[in-house]
Amino acid sequence: MKWLLVSCQLLAVFVSALPYRECPVWMRTNGFINEMGMLADAVSWTNDGSIIQGVCGNYTIVQDISGKYDTRMRIYQSLNYNLTVFSFRPTQSTPDGQNIHNNRKMTKCSFFPKCQGRVHDRFQEAFLSLIHQIKDWGFIYNDVATVGHSLGGSLQLFMGIYLWKKYNKPPILSLGFAGPFIGDQQFSDIYLDGYFYVMNHNWWQIETVDMNNPNRYDGTVEGYQINNNEIFIDMDAVCSFPINPLSIPDQAYGMHDLRQYLLYASGTQC
């Protein structure tokens, strides 16, 4: 597909690890990236059955699944391409939603067979509660993409690795807008390094950075941690969207707000 010319609220503890690499330039102009940003937003909308209109094509919801900790996964089917997109919702401002960030701990990786290493306990619980409800896996014969913002950006990473390791079906694109990493050093060494390679640099955990003040950036990807920095942060898979940020007085999310990410992901080339 010519549009792939490869080369919520989180309770975060921030560290000084400025994302040093701008995302590939084609992501700024590519209409498919625009659509992925749109679907990362649309997963939080009320499902009224409407066709979602993108810049290069249109999408319909084929499954709408609610999971533990007030999570949501929507499976979208492109009406123009042989493409299925998994989009995951950010943290919800509800007691159950906020509870996913309480009592943080790592646990044995179990979301695909023979998984090694440790991952975020409640993130894994939520992910398993979502995928166990998938009714039809026929999409496995399509191209697939995964996307999400904030917590959704972590759950989409679970999904990408799950598809790769269980079905040998890595996504054509995996984007975590402000999505924290999910596993420890062992998990990263065994799986994330290989995922980055097999994805041919089409997997990124993304930060917004103020292009006029590089010290002002989101920081969630690098800063979300458990206990003694048990989550391994692979900076090779982190890239930045340099933007002139919006002033958003009605929200407390600042650079973390998805609308900031959509400023960059606004391309129209199909």
Each of the 270 residues of the chain gets a pLDDT tens digit; together they read 433 333 344 434 334 456 668 999 999 999 999 999 999 999 999 999 999 999 999 999 999 999 999 999 999 999 999 999 999 999 999 999 999 999 999 999 999 999 999 999 999 999 999 999 998 888 888 999 999 999 999 999 999 999 999 999 999 999 999 999 999 999 999 999 999 999 998 999 999 999 999 889 999 999 999 998 999 999 999 999 999 999 987 766 799 999 999 999 999 999
To the nearest 10°, the Cα dihedral for 54, 59, 60, 62? -140
Q: Does the domain made of 35-44+51-264 have the CATH classification 3.40.50.720?
A: no
pLDDT at 13: 37
pLDDT at 19: 65
* Dihedral over Cα of 93, 171, 269, 53: its sign: negative
Q: For 96, how many CA atoms within 13 A lie in the half-sphere containing its CB?
A: 8
Residue 50 pLDDT: 92
- pLDDT recorded at residue 69: 98
- What confidence score (pLDDT) does residue 229 get? 93
Confidence (pLDDT) at 136: 85
User: Residue 240 in contact with residue 207, Cβ under 8 Å?
Assistant: yes
Domain ranges of the chain: 35-44+51-264
* Strand 203-210 with 238-243, pairing: parallel
pLDDT value at residue 137:
85
What pLDDT does 198 receive?
Answer: 95
- Are the C-beta atoms of 135 and 63 separated by less than 8 Å? yes
Interior angle at CA 146, CA 142 and CA 152, nearest 5:
150
What residue type is assigned to position 212 of the chain? N
- Provide the whole-model pTM: 0.92
pLDDT value, residue 249: 75
- Residue 18's pLDDT is 61
